[in-house]
Amino acid sequence: MFEKTIKSTSIYKGRMLGLRDDEVELPNGKISHREICEHPGAVAIVPITNDGKIILIRQFRKPIEEVIYEIPAGLINKGEELKDAAVRELEEETGYKANKIEFALTVYTSPGYSTEKLHIFIAKDLVKTQNNPDEDENIEVAITPIDIALQMIKSGEIKDGKTIVGICLVEIK
Amino acid sequence: MFEKTIKSTSIYKGRMLGLRDDEVELPNGKISHREICEHPGAVAIVPITNDGKIILIRQFRKPIEEVIYEIPAGLINKGEELKDAAVRELEEETGYKANKIEFALTVYTSPGYSTEKLHIFIAKDLVKTQNNPDEDENIEVAITPIDIALQMIKSGEIKDGKTIVGICLVEIK
Q: What are the residues whose beta carbons fall under 8 Å from the beta carbon of A47, sequence distance 6 or more?
A: A54, A55, A71, A72, A90, A94, A96, A98, A123, A124, A126
- Phi, psi (5° rounding) for residue B34? -125, 120
Report chain B's mean pLDDT, rounded to a whole number. 95
For chain A, what is the mean pLDDT? Answer: 95
CB distance from A132 to chain B under 8 Å?
Answer: no
Q: Is 90 exceeded by the pLDDT of residue B169? A: yes
Cβ neighbours, 10 Å, residue B124: 14
Whether B163 contacts A52, CB under 8 Å: no
Q: Which of A33, A150, A160 sits opposite B108 (nearest CB)?
A: A160
Query: What band does A173 get if pLDDT is binned at 50, 70 and 90?
Result: confident
According to DSSP, the β-strands at B18-25 and B4-13 are: antiparallel
For residue B108, pLDDT over 70 is answered with yes
Mean pLDDT of B78-100: 96
CA angle B115, B116, B118 (to 5 degrees): 150
Backbone angles phi, psi at A37, to 5 degrees: -90, 125
Q: In what order do the strands lie in the sheet with B4-13?
A: B4-13, B18-25, B31-38
Q: What angle do CA A4, A9, A14 make, to 5 degrees?
A: 125
Asked if the C-beta of B17 comes within 8 angstroms of chain A's C-beta atoms, the answer is yes
The yes-or-no answer on residue B135 being catalytic is yes
Tell me: pLDDT of A136 over 90.
Answer: no
Alpha-carbon gap, residue B173 to B164, rounded angstroms: 14
Closest Cα in chain A to B73:
A112
Find the DSSP H helices in chain B: 82-94, 146-154, 161-172
| pLDDT for B121 | 98
Which of A64, A115, A156 lies closest to B64 in CB terms?
A115
DSSP A125-137: EEEE--SS--GGG
pLDDT of residue B130: 77
The stretch B143-152 carries a mean pLDDT of: 97
Rounded average pLDDT over B138-164:
96
pLDDT over 70 (residue A166): yes
**Closest Cα partner for B44 from B85, B9, B3?**
B85
* A131 exposure class (CB count in 10 Å sphere: 0-12, 13-18, 19+): exposed
pLDDT of residue B136: 64
CA distance A23 to A34: 7
Q: Give the integer Cα–Cα distance in Å for B163 and B170.
A: 11
Q: Considering only CA atoms, which of B109, B78, B74, B118 is closest in space to residue B93?
A: B74
Question: Which tops the pLDDT comparison, A126 or B134?
Answer: A126
Q: Say whether pLDDT at B46 is over 70.
A: yes
What is the predicted pLDDT for the residue at B71?
Answer: 98
Question: Is the model's pLDDT at A135 over the cut of 70?
Answer: no
Query: Chain B within 8 Å of A24 (Cβ-Cβ)?
Result: yes
- State the best of B1, B10, B102, B139 to mutate against chain A, taking most chain A CBs within 10 Å: B1
Cα–Cα dist B75/B118, whole Å: 9
Residue A2 amino acid letter: F
Q: Which domains does chain A have, with CATH numbers?
A: 4-38 (no CATH), 42-172 (3.90.79.10)
**Distance (Å) from the C-alpha of residue A99 to the closest C-alpha of chain B?**
23
Measured at the CA of B10, the angle between CA B6 and CA B12, to 5 degrees, comes to: 160
Task: ipTM value, please give it.
Answer: 0.96
- Give the pLDDT of residue B138: 85
Q: Do B159 and A16 touch (CB under 8 A)?
A: no
Q: Using the predicted structure, report yes or no on whether residue A118 has a pLDDT greater than 80.
A: yes
Query: Which among A33, A43, A41, A31 has a CA at the least distance from the CA of A8?
Result: A33
State the pTM of this model: 0.96
